[in-house]
Chain A
Amino acid sequence: MIVDSYRFLPRSFRPMYEGRGPFPGEEAPVWAPFEKRLAAARIALLTSAGLFVRSTQPSFDLEREQNNPEWGDPSWRSIPANADAAEIGVAHLHINDEDIKADPEIALPARLLDHLVAEGMVGSATAEHLSVMGYQDRSLDGWRQETLPELVAKLRDQQADGLILAPA
């Protein structure tokens, strides 16, 4: 079974994605081998659904995007693996966020990953997972220059052996 990548996309949006090829300078293969057994590895999660912890973190900057539709907030948030679902906020103007608010696991399955750790399938999960807000294609500079080095430092600090990324 081959997934239809455009099944849920409005037809008028399709040319924005299909046949565009790689970003300039991003053509070459990149590869980091996964060397450990999964049962001995530490896994981290990253979502681009704009999740944040409501009690301790600011939302992503949606007001600026409202005023400047070409811009998307390039910052990131650390989401504790044991964060209470009721504490998770969602900042993303391009999707209906009701289902993620009802069950944040559909964007960031931290509890499910912990469950697989308890079963022994996965060695461990990082204590913190990562959240960004998608909608950066118009300018990748913010992600590249500021967010990326911080994300990599956080992943190294937590000794992540692999990362599962999921867009909204």
Chain B
Amino acid sequence: MPVLARWIETAGIPTVVVTMMPAVAEERRAPRIVGVEFPFGHAFGMPGDKTMQRRVLEVALQVLAGSTAFGTRVDVDIEWPVPLRDAYKAWQPKEASPIVRKLLASQRPTS
């Protein structure tokens, strides 16, 4: 996603990436970054929580429109309102993804 932002920015359209992994977006050299400490699949927050979603979208708009330099990063100070252990389980797919299944199979002892 950060690299897609870079390519679109290169085509002349300003971009901002809203991401759970802002450190990775920095490493991948995204031009503008908004960090959220949310589980994967929840870039703008909790389902149905319009207040939380609005806070994230407003920060994204401000960073998009008001940043003055490449690499600007602003983290949104919202704590995920679900205990970590539950949230960590909840975001993951019910069935392991194909690549995870393949990796697990390759690590399984054969004897």
Q: List chain A positions with a Cβ less than 8 A from chain B.
A: 1-9, 17-23, 26-34, 36-38, 41, 43, 46-49, 65-66, 68-70, 92-97, 99-100, 102-103, 105-107, 109, 112-113, 116, 121-122, 132, 134, 140, 143-144, 148, 151-152, 155-156, 160-168
Complex CA–CA separation, A59 to B6 (angstroms) = 26
B48 in contact with A103 (CB, 8 Å): yes
In chain A, what residue has the closest Cβ to B65? A38
In chain B, what residue has the closest Cβ to A69? B98
A148 in contact with B8 (CB, 8 Å): yes
A162 in contact with B40 (CB, 8 Å): no
Complex CA–CA separation, A66 to B67 (angstroms) = 41
Asked, given contacts A27-B29, A99-B41, whether A34 binds B24 with beta carbons under 8 Å apart, the answer is no
Which of A4, A38, A105, A166 contacts B18, CB < 8 Å? A166
Considering residues B9, B22, B92, B99, which has the most beta carbons from chain A within 10 angstroms of its beta carbon?
Answer: B99
A6 in contact with B90 (CB, 8 Å): no
Q: List chain B positions with a Cβ less than 8 A from chain A.
A: 1, 3-24, 27-29, 31, 35-48, 50, 53-54, 57-58, 60-61, 64-67, 70-71, 75-77, 84, 87-88, 90-95, 97-99, 101-102
Considering residues A23, A113, A163, which has the most beta carbons from chain B within 10 angstroms of its beta carbon?
Answer: A163
Q: B70: which A residues are within 8 A, CB to CB? A: 29-31
Complex CA–CA separation, A8 to B43 (angstroms) = 13
In chain B, what residue has the closest Cβ to A147? B4
In chain B, what residue has the closest Cβ to A20? B27
Asked, given contacts A30-B31, A107-B43, A148-B4, whether A96 binds B90 with beta carbons under 8 Å apart, the answer is yes
What are the 6 A-B residue pairs with the smallest beta carbon separation, nearest first?
A: A103-B47, A69-B98, A166-B43, A3-B35, A5-B23, A95-B41
Complex CA–CA separation, A37 to B84 (angstroms) = 39
Asked, given contacts A23-B28, A96-B41, whether A166 binds B19 with beta carbons under 8 Å apart, the answer is yes
Q: A151: which B residues are within 8 A, CB to CB? A: 4, 8
A29 in contact with B29 (CB, 8 Å): yes
Complex CA–CA separation, A49 to B19 (angstroms) = 12
Q: A113: which B residues are within 8 A, CB to CB? A: 57
Asked, given contacts A5-B24, A17-B21, whether A112 binds B97 with beta carbons under 8 Å apart, the answer is no
Complex CA–CA separation, A103 to B58 (angstroms) = 19
A142 CB, nearest partner CB in chain B, Å: 12
Which of A96, A107, A140 contacts B91, CB < 8 Å? A96
Q: B9: which A residues are within 8 A, CB to CB? A: 30-32
Q: B45: which A residues are within 8 A, CB to CB? A: 106
Q: B87: which A residues are within 8 A, CB to CB? A: 8
